[in-house]
Amino acid sequence: MRKLLFGLLSFVLIGSGVAHAHQPVVLLDSDTTATKGPLLVDGTVSFAIRAKFSKAGQKKAFRAQFKAGDALSVQYLIVDKKPETSLQVRALPVLVITDPAGSKVTMKINERTKFYEPYSKVNYLYLGRYNAVAQSGVYEFAITSKSKAAITIAVGEKEIMGEVLRGAVATPKPTASSTPTSSPTAKATPSGYTMEKVRANNSATSCWSVINGSVYDLTSWINSHPGGSSVIRALCGTDGSAEFSAKHSGQGKPESRLRGFLLGPLAN
């Protein structure tokens, strides 16, 4: 399974010494509030949320859904290299976790534990961890920058592919009825992205590509792809459907490898 998913999954080492695969999700500049950011449909599935900031005062956020009694497992990480390692604690982004009842917890930065992730060949540092028993509902994760910085927030531990929704998500409303009815299913209603917008994001610092009618932000995959950065750079700003299909012909559901990079559908 790990070989099949190769470079798309980052591996996060927990205190027991066991490696867990984390599906990457990149926060966009437009993800300024939890409701605007992506929703992790099952917060117990392992995700690596990547947030990059260019200056102080920027905000990025996301949500994760849990059932009552689920394990809420969150880690705060940075890449073990400069400029990330040169930042003092007071210059690092602040992560605030809000539970479904409205109570807030600020992630404590209280460690610097090293580990090497062999698949992307990247060294990381754990800076903080938070564990609790989850309430039923949606947790909000808000990150506020204090300087130029890049961090990763790891959520969940289950090594399975998870679902990420972007856009407005319908919230079921209770109605009085003597006849039991099923709750509406939450559906994503993302806005489409134009091909013009895709072509504008054609660099190593912002790499978008169209694959089979969907738009993906592949920026964070450039330096971790096992085939080298040129493989992903060739897709930047283009419709990479044919090239992606050719490289993954004969493999079942190859698009599932891209879920964590999904921005939304290509606009007609």
43 and 157 inside one domain: yes
Instruction: Give the pLDDT of residue 7.
Output: 38
The domain that contains 112 carries what CATH number? 2.60.120.380
Radius of gyration for the alpha carbons in the chain, expressed in angstroms and rounded: 19
157 and 241 inside one domain: no
Higher pLDDT, 263 or 185: 263
Average pLDDT over residues 18-22: 46
Listed residues 145, 163, 181: the one ending a domain: 163
Model confidence, pTM: 0.60
- Confidence at 222, pLDDT banded by 50, 70, 90: confident
53 and 158 inside one domain: yes
What percent of the chain has pLDDT above 90? Answer: 46
* Residue labelled with tokens 């895709």: 198
75 and 127 inside one domain: yes
6 pLDDT more than 70 = no
The domain that contains 259 carries what CATH number? 3.10.120.10
Average pLDDT over residues 149-171: 82
Burial (0-12, 13-18, 19+ Cβ within 10 Å), 39? buried
Instruction: Give the pLDDT of residue 176.
Output: 41
Average pLDDT over residues 173-202: 57
Bridge partners, residue 264, by sequence: 215
125 and 229 inside one domain: no
Which residues span the domain enclosing 145?
15-163
Q: Is residue 26 part of a domain?
A: yes
39 and 125 inside one domain: yes
Instruction: Give the pLDDT of residue 162.
Output: 84
- Separation CA 95–CA 201 (nearest Å): 28
Bridge partners, residue 52, by sequence: 150
134 and 62 inside one domain: yes
Instruction: Give the pLDDT of residue 160.
Output: 83
33 and 154 inside one domain: yes
Q: Which residues make Cβ contacts (< 8 Å) with residue 45, sequence separation at least 6? A: 23, 156, 158, 160, 161, 162
- Overall number of domains in the chain: 2
24 and 98 inside one domain: yes
189 pLDDT more than 80 = no
Q: CA separation (Å) from 230 to 71, 221, 236?
A: 39, 11, 10
Burial (0-12, 13-18, 19+ Cβ within 10 Å), 125? middle
User: Nearest-5° angle of CA 185, CA 259, CA 226?
Assistant: 165
Picking from 256, 251, 221, the residue whose alpha carbon sits closest to that of residue 236 is 221
Q: What is the mean pLDDT of the chain?
A: 80
224 pLDDT more than 70 = no
